[in-house]
Chains A and B, each alone.
Chain A
Amino acid sequence: MTDETATSETAPLAAEYTLGLLPEDEARAFEALMSRDPDARAEYAFWAENYAALTNDIPHEAPPAHVWTGISDVAFGPAAPRASWFSRFGLPSALGGGLLAALAVLWLVDLSGMMGGETSTYTAQIAAEDSSLIIQASFDDSTDTLSLTRDAGAAADGRDLELWLISGGNAPVSLGVIPETQTADIQLDADVVAALQDGVLAISDEPEGGSPTGAPTGAVLAVGPLIAL
């Protein structure tokens, strides 16, 4: 199909695509067409709106209460970042979703571990989804020091791991390259300390010496919400 024939060809294709009837290669071709052709997108919307009306006569039924509990537990895990935080890193949303699910589990792990009551005022477990990289972080407000303990993982050869703080709707702030030692202390500036509340720590893969741009350039390997003690 060419652009010139889009108008005449689009109608049944959009109708078939929206039903999910197209073979994969044709579905992909139609998606490509939609990405550059507003008429094709309008056709898709036309059909989506009309087909959705086929559900008008389906009886409503309230789902059982545990359905919402399940949804909110995952969506609102404490300090669970929204997908948009991950999209700031340029991650596909599917990956962000996977990490969110992992966060919900990690939070439970963190809760069980936080009853000891250290002097730190925040703690976080920055962990990869597959546990290939795990770094414990704790912040002590008497010295404004973030202490890191590496439980697993290391930078790839010729690469460095860089630590970031994501807080609120702000762009990630670099907290520096993570030393290769098992433990390390990072001194935080006052404005960074103020942003720790409800923040998330993340570790990205960067060139030696850290990101050249001031923003993450490589893959985000691990994330962990800061939990106030």
Chain B
Amino acid sequence: MTTPQDVENMIGRMALGDRQAFSDLYSATSAKLFGVALRVLSNRAEAEDAIQEAYLKIWRNADRYQVNGLSPMTWLITITRNLCIDKLRARKVQGGGMDEAAEIESSAPGPEALAMASSDRARIVDCMGQLDDQKSDAVRRAYLEGETYKELAERYDQPLNTIRTWLRRSLIKLKDCLSHD
């Protein structure tokens, strides 16, 4: 069983150029990340390309992990998810219209954030359950399918500003729920 601390240690050794640590990290996490890539891209060849790019990025940026403040699995998942969304948006470029795809992964934020226990991690599922179906569906589509406000507006047949207003309200509500002990 690989713990978050194990993954963090692997990333720390990778930052020093330890190839074995990178190989270990890949063995421990690639089934998870490939699963995520397959889910987002629904295309095997693209998912393989995406995790190759993701792991190379993880290897090269391992020395920046300590300052980015995310728990280790979240860091790996976020890199993979953002790369996949970039590919997805590039694929359906006519549908997007909002050209924000490139910069989502360029940030290097640095808060203190510890790995969450698995019981906490499931909380978002419960909290999403407290939103209207349409709204939790929209959040899920944005995260896992990279849908933009424009696409969501078309999907729900609402003006873009209306969609943004109701989704923002939902996100605030979601935060209240997630922050509630």
- A interface residues, Cβ below 8 angstroms from B: 11-12, 15-24, 27-28, 31, 34, 38, 40-46, 48-64, 66-68, 70-72, 74-76, 82-84, 87, 93, 96-97, 100
Contact = CB atoms under 8 A, between A and B. Distances in A.
B81 A23 contact: no
A112 B171 CA distance: 58
Interface in B104-155: 104, 106-107, 109-113, 116, 121-125, 139-140, 142-144, 146, 148-149
B124 A54 contact: yes
B39 A31 contact: no
A71 B149 CA distance: 35
A41 B171 contact: no
Top 8 closest A-B pairs, CB basis? A42-B111, A45-B113, A53-B121, A60-B31, A41-B111, A15-B171, A83-B60, A63-B34
B146 A20 contact: yes
Contacts of B35: 55, 58-61
Nearest to A75: B59
Given A50-B124, A54-B124, A22 B19 contact: no
Interface of B: 15, 17, 19, 22-23, 26, 30-32, 34-36, 38-39, 47-48, 51-52, 55-57, 59-61, 63, 69-71, 73-74, 77-78, 81-82, 85, 98-101, 103-104, 106-107, 109-113, 116, 121-125, 139-140, 142-144, 146, 148-149, 164, 167-168, 171-172, 174-175, 178
Choose among B19, B57, B59, B85 the residue with the greatest number of A CB atoms under 10 Å from its CB.
B59
Choose among A50, A51, A82 the residue with the greatest number of B CB atoms under 10 Å from its CB.
A50
24 contacts: A11-B171, A11-B172, A16-B171, A21-B98, A23-B98, A23-B100, A24-B103, A27-B104, A40-B109, A41-B109, A41-B111, A46-B113, A52-B74, A52-B81, A53-B122, A54-B124, A56-B125, A59-B35, A62-B34, A63-B48, A71-B56, A74-B56, A82-B63, A97-B60
